[in-house]
A and B are shown apart, each in its own frame.
Chain A
């Protein structure tokens, strides 16, 4: 395994890009660490990787990492990534989004990218809130929880991101948390190896904008909560309906083989009598 100091010199952009914008106790840095360790394990070079991000706290990750990086508009990261991947399939395209980024403003792009099954790897950092703008409720804020725009409690029902992308056809779906950082490493590593569209949901604490408003304690308490409530699919299925409270599953949720978009497209090129590049 790569040493932390070595990984920092190898993958982070040292000059001018730090200090980063994330608050003390933020989970985004843990996800960034997991991403770097996963990439190190795949053996891909930095030149082969394109890191695309959207807008928000998660969106800043592309600034800090030494790949071909693209910081796009809010919610559109997957659409930019689609253009890159189709134009230059030999590149490994990784997309970092937040929960609001991916499932609210970018919801349409998310479901259609799932449906197309293009070989892109999406990592959705879910902190249940719009952090950068000051703690407004997002499509994953639990019902009754508070946000700066839900002072009386959120009356909307949250998305289960993994169920959503599974239903839309993603061929690899997995979830981990910032507490289960090592599991996150390997899930991201597997998703990069997957030939098809993959989504890894990384649940990450936002103590400043989300935890504070909902009296969830500091970052350590929030990590502790992940530890206590995260279950494997097998353990989760054993729970009786009465026992189910706030628990959620972690690990691989979907892993199936389906024809990838570009493979199908190459067939069309042949049908049209063109030369497959």
Chain B
């Protein structure tokens, strides 16, 4: 019998439903495989709840439009894939710098360039971290299932509001196009737009408050007239080149993330307590990895899994702590080793990689083979 709130959903649909549940009411996007279902779904559903769906002329404009909507007080989102994600980088940097909350979904396909539109990949891991120019903060979440497409999209909106920053939901083509029966979770906490705590004349939208408290972003048109710019700015938002103000502006956006790693970072551990060999995997690859762990355990190997759910900031300290007694860390990825490089930084000499860039899945057997290899 069908359970309450049980639905057969595609990853992309679950992502769109999560966004609606989070209170997203503005979507600006441009069609691109394999993310298009998100736009199609929202073009039907947003008008039903009085929200805005607009198909912009390109991904540059899509990203700009969601920043504008967010400044007007509406939770906003866009969705794309690699080539479109490249075009969005300019204004993702703007949102980071101007501290405008918004959510960008990137359903990864094979790259570089047009690559393989219909084949999955995890090739945008580094682009999601460093795609835009300059030092900037970013939060990237990586779902492995249809259920997580729903829950992590909600979490992305919560983190965006809480830290006034763009948050990226980095799905791979498999997760986006996968169908699963899921139980829509109830009572997920939603963080809404914060109310201002001071009158307009005291309001400084970019004030560096003691204790790292974040100033709420008051929507345009509510009596709090202020300036927003992508230039380095002072506490009131006006461009500055004064040395101390420059440093404060740039430090502030970095440290609001760095000082809250405990809140932002989420990882899943599976049978890692006594593991000698551990697999570090994310997205759809983590599903194969879990299967491989079970296969290995049944053959007597002490193997575990660590899955970064928050991909950026990378859970470096978590990994260092957990892997202290482990001998080998296997990093399977659908790219040439983008997270492998990060694992190497945290745990030098322990990491080995499995790479696959031919548009096919990494199978549990492949991972099992590597386990046997390194166990010898």
Residues of A within 8 A of B (CB): 13, 16-17, 46-48, 50, 52, 62-63, 66-73, 76, 79-88, 90-91, 108-109, 112, 265, 268-269, 271-277
Contacts and interface: CB of A to CB of B under 8 A. Distances in A.
Given A17-B238, A88-B74, A272-B48, A80 B65 contact: yes
A105 to B, nearest CB: 10
B222 interface: yes
Contacts of B28: 82-83
Contacts of B65: 79-80, 82-83, 86
Contacts of A268: 47
A276 to B, nearest CB: 7
Contact of B221 (A48, A86, A269): A48
Contacts of A265: 47, 52
A268 B236 CA distance: 39
A216 B64 CA distance: 38
Given A47-B223, A87-B74, A91-B221, A82 B61 contact: yes
Contact of A82 (B50, B54, B58, B234): B54
Contact of B57 (A69, A73, A112, A271): A112
Interface of B: prevailing SS:
mixed
B229 A83 contact: no
Interface string B221-234: 11101111111001
15 contacts: A52-B68, A68-B220, A70-B228, A70-B229, A79-B56, A79-B62, A80-B67, A80-B68, A82-B28, A83-B72, A86-B26, A87-B52, A87-B73, A88-B219, A91-B72
A98 to B, nearest CB: 16
A73 B91 contact: yes
A36 to B, nearest CB: 15
Q: For this complex, into which size category does the number of interface residues on chain B fall?
A: 35 or more
A44 B220 CA distance: 15
B309 interface: no
A271 B74 contact: no
A63 B229 contact: yes
B68 A81 contact: yes
A9 B359 CA distance: 63
A277 B221 contact: no
Contacts of B234: 16
A276 B49 CA distance: 9
Given A80-B64, A87-B76, A66 B225 contact: yes
Given A50-B220, A69-B228, A87-B26, A109 B47 contact: no
Contacts of B219: 88
A72 B231 CA distance: 9
A68 B226 contact: yes
A112 B62 CA distance: 12
A269 B74 CA distance: 17
A182 B65 CA distance: 33
Nearest to B75: A87
A272 B47 contact: yes
Nearest to A77: B64
Contacts of A47: 221-223, 225
B69 interface: yes
B71 interface: yes
Contacts of A272: 44, 47-48
A72 B221 CA distance: 18
Given A76-B91, A81-B68, A87-B73, 19 more contacts: A16-B238, A70-B71, A71-B228, A71-B230, A72-B230, A73-B91, A73-B94, A76-B60, A76-B64, A79-B56, A80-B65, A82-B61, A83-B71, A84-B69, A86-B54, A87-B72, A90-B221, A112-B57, A273-B48
Contact of B58 (A71, A108, A274): A108
B228 A67 contact: no
Contacts of A275: 50
A86 B44 CA distance: 17
A81 B228 CA distance: 13
B90 interface: yes
Interface in B200-228: 219-223, 225-228
Contacts of A84: 68-69, 71-72, 220
Contacts of B73: 87-88
B131 interface: no
